[in-house]
Structure 1
Amino acid sequence: MAVVHVKGFATWQDRKPPYKWRCRHRKTGTMIDTERFPLGSLAFFAECARIVALNDKTDDPKPGTLGQLIARYRASVFFTDLAARTRADYQRCFDYLQPIADTMLDRFTPPLVVKIRDKAAAKHGRRFGNYVKTVLALTFAWGVERGYLKANPAMKIKGIRRPRGMADANRPWSDSERDAVAAALPAHMRLPVALMMYCGLDPQDALKIPPTAVSDGMIDARRGKTGVAMWFPLPAPVVAALAVAPKHDAITLCANSRGKPWTPSGFRASWRPMRQALELAGAVQPGLTLKGLRHTVATILAEMGYDERTIADMLGQKTVEMARHYSKRANKSRKMSAVVTSFDAELNRRGTKNVKPA
């Protein structure tokens, strides 16, 4: 069967039996039922035209609606000046809110925002639900300042709490886990992991920085999400990884086994089986993530006694809030060590004897 190409639509065939043909509208993600509308038939082209017409209609939002507010916010410098990754995160929320874009702004109330948050969390997880609430609050705040709304209905809405007993996301790595992973890495993965492990780079930043970001033993780059500059000497393990990194002609500092720039999904596909093998061997504990290496760097720096502003500068953070979050384990451990030492000293002063078990 000949492949049918329609502008704005992706067409492909399943790789496994029954090798069904599929078609998706790129902009909205709307799938076409190719059994009901056979590929290349008049009914198929009519369905494509209908989906395009619906999308064109949403490009002109109604006055006084959420869709109009979002469109005007996206056109403002408050959105365009955000980092590319932050804009992409916001856009995911805006795409999710598209079905209610025609809702009038005066209909939004705190209970409605809570309902939207909870529905997003039920469908895509707690973190996404909270993020939708946050983006709504920011967009509404922008609208209040410009007279689109009288009040921000999402301003005092709290995020959904983490379930009790839920494991921490992106936990810090232990020293033994870092050693086990470093020993198992193939040559083309050592440099990007070293940048994450010792410089605290976000995985996507480590994969995307150009060769010019490293020179004369220094790293000079910007964090993709915040745009904050990061400039400091390269730790010795990164210098060593650079010295033995496979040569390539890619436009990025790090490259895959074919000498091409890494994609985030491609790197995850290489990392996953290696991590799973190490888990089975008992070399690492479950819950190991590449993002957790940022937490690891912050934890080590906090244990060394560095202040939160210094840790934030190392991680490319504008504020100290995330540095405080990343290093909370180390801060608590250091504090409790001092408390227990004082407690032991007080017990000795009081002459309290240790009781041996029977």
Structure 2
Amino acid sequence: MVVKVKLDGLNVIKARGKWYVYVRETKEKLLGGFEGTRVDLDKRMAMPDFIAKYNARRVLDKKRTYNEGTLGALVYWFENDCPKYPTLADATRADYTKAFNYLRPEFDYPLADLTQADIYDIRDKCAKEKKGRFADKMVSALSSMFSQAVKRKKMTSNPALGLDKAHSADPNANREWLPSEWDYVRENAPRYLLTPMIIARYAGYRGQTLVKLGWSDYAPHVQYGWKCFRKVTKKNQENVMVPVVAELQEYLDGLDRTALMICTKQDGTPWEDEKQMQTAVSHYLRDLEAEGKIGSGTTLHGLRTSYAADLRRNGAETGDVAAALGDKSERMGAHYTRHVENEAKVIRAFEGKSATRRNSGRTGFAKHEGFAAKHPLD
């Protein structure tokens, strides 16, 4: 017999045979990767540790007010009255909400007494209780809010600026996909998941742009006639035109238009937000990784890296790559293609060694002759 426990405000998802339970309001994950039937899941959600985790988020009264000059009052101002806040991406606002919910026990702290050492203390505590990545996002949320507060003379300085990271980034994360990985996913992914991935691969869009990309954004170029996307990117408000290559055009023209948005869920309706789409793609890719079909580090954002790498290998300068990515800074073009530059250096090194061997009368490196000509990365 299953003891029924009424748990409000949860979003229960089943993906690739596994259950995931999130807080609907904040997208906080309470349970992930659970295997079994729905009855088994109900039993798991009735266990004391899950109930405690569920109740922990409900202990504090979210409607109480805080004295002016406190952290809680500043958070309220930031989320409700700061002109910068509405311009943030949906995913960014969701991350900030999670961070501020975690910080709620500290909301009575006077801003005037807040030092960088205090931020380090709460960050270290957060990293132990949750994860280093979440702790770093929490610091980013604070720093963003404090920066706006300094501009409006609500604070004299930003104590969260310049903190060391609690989490060491995985250098393999969001890497360029191998051709074999893309070929497998291209041939086997269900259409509702392949659609955002193939657009990311051949148009380079971020998830926050993909989820808002409509059929009205896909049309012939007014001067050249070939089809393209025209979209104002959410992250930096850049109006970007991206030509649609033949493979992507063939794919898009074969889709049923069940909604105004191009990327839709399995039932043909639009994704609720960027996080829901990215989570579904991530679950699918990690299942393929567990089956040995693709490697680790394959992500939706990594297909943006693949797009940029293709452009660079075909002769585009880093500034041109940045423009095609919808980034204002040429530095971002270099960021996404740094590994391509390293490949070019390695190939030039091998070419140089090959020439040295030829000049000295040795032939041991002859197999590398002409390699750079076949792989033009300069």
Coarse TM-score class (shorter-chain normalised): 0.7 to 0.9
* Shift in Å, 1:65: 1.2
Tell me which residue corresponds to 2:16. none
Given the alignment of the two structures, is residue 87 of structure 1 paired with residue 121 of structure 2, yes or no? no
Root-mean-square deviation over aligned CA pairs: 3.7
* Structure 2 counterpart of 1:186, from 162, 187, 190: 190
Structure-1-length-normalised TM-score: 0.75
* Structure 2 counterpart of 1:276, from 287, 291, 301: 287
Mapping of residues 316-335 of structure 1, within 5 Å: 316-335=326-345
Q: Deviations over 1:230-281 (max 9, x none)?
A: 2122111111101222x2432312334433224553674477457634763x
* Structure 2 counterpart of 1:228, from 221, 238, 246: 238
Q: Deviations over 1:192-245 (max 9, x none)?
A: 322111111223432432211111212112333333222122111111101222
SS of the residue aligned with 1:327?
Answer: helix
* Shift in Å, 1:79: 2.3
* Structure 2 counterpart of 1:68, from 56, 73, 77: 73
User: Separation in 2 of the partners of 1:213 and 1:69?
Assistant: 38
Q: Deviations over 1:280-319 (max 9, x none)?
A: 3x54223322221011111222222322222222222233
Tell me which residue corresponds to 1:251. 260
Whether contact under 8 Å (2:203, 2:242) holds in the other structure is no
Whether contact under 8 Å (2:136, 2:167) holds in the other structure is no
Paired amino acid for 1:180: Y
SS of the residue aligned with 2:175?
Answer: coil
SS of the residue aligned with 2:63?
Answer: helix
Given the alignment of the two structures, is residue 294 of structure 1 paired with residue 304 of structure 2, yes or no? yes
Judged with a 3 Å threshold, the aligned counterparts in structure 2 of structure 1 residues 325 and 95 are, in CA distance, closer, same or farther, namely: farther
* Shift in Å, 1:342: 2.8
Given the alignment of the two structures, is residue 55 of structure 1 paired with residue 62 of structure 2, yes or no? yes
Judged with a 3 Å threshold, the aligned counterparts in structure 2 of structure 1 residues 312 and 90 are, in CA distance, closer, same or farther, namely: farther
Tell me which residue corresponds to 1:107. 113
Tell me which residue corresponds to 2:162. 156
SS of the residue aligned with 1:56?
Answer: coil
Larger Rg: 1
User: Separation in 1 of the partners of 2:111 and 2:191?
Assistant: 55
Q: Deviations over 1:48-94 (max 9, x none)?
A: 9xx68x3221xx22122112222233312132333443333333322
* Shift in Å, 1:16: 1.8
SS of the residue aligned with 1:291?
Answer: helix
Whether contact under 8 Å (1:248, 1:255) holds in the other structure is no
User: Separation in 1 of the partners of 2:205 and 2:330?
Assistant: 16
Structure 1 gap segments, 5+ residues each: 24-28, 34-47
Tell me which residue corresponds to 1:146. 152
Q: Deviations over 1:84-122 (max 9, x none)?
A: 433333333222222211111132222221122223333
Tell me which residue corresponds to 2:376. none
Query: Percent of pairs identical after alignment?
Result: 25
* Shift in Å, 1:134: 2.6
Tell me which residue corresponds to 1:206. 210
Whether contact under 8 Å (1:84, 1:224) holds in the other structure is no
Given the alignment of the two structures, is residue 174 of structure 1 paired with residue 181 of structure 2, yes or no? no
